Amino acid sequence: MTRKRFVLGAVFAVVTLGATGAAVVAASTGDDDGAEAPIVGDALRQASEAAIAATGGGRVTQTEVGDEDSYYEVEVTRDDGSQVDVQLDASFNLVTVMADSGDHADNDGDG
Say if CB 64 and CB 37 are below 8 A apart: yes
Q: Which amino acid is present at 86? A: V
Q: Which of 70, 71, 73 is nearest to 61 (CA)?
A: 73
Tell me what pLDDT residue 69 has. Answer: 86
CA atoms in the 13 A half-sphere facing the CB of 111: 3
Q: Give the 3-state secondary structure of residue 11.
A: helix
Tell me what pLDDT residue 36 has. Answer: 80
What residues of the chain score a pLDDT lower than 50? 1, 3-34, 102-111
pTM of the shown model? 0.60
Tell me what pLDDT residue 54 has. Answer: 97
Say if CB 43 and CB 72 are below 8 A apart: yes
Tell me what pLDDT residue 35 has. Answer: 65
Tell me what pLDDT residue 17 has. Answer: 38
Tell me what pLDDT residue 108 has. Answer: 43
The Cα–Cα gap between 97 and 60 comes to: 14
Q: What share of the chain is helix, strand, coil (3-state, %, to 5)?
A: 40, 25, 35
Tell me what pLDDT residue 1 has. Answer: 47
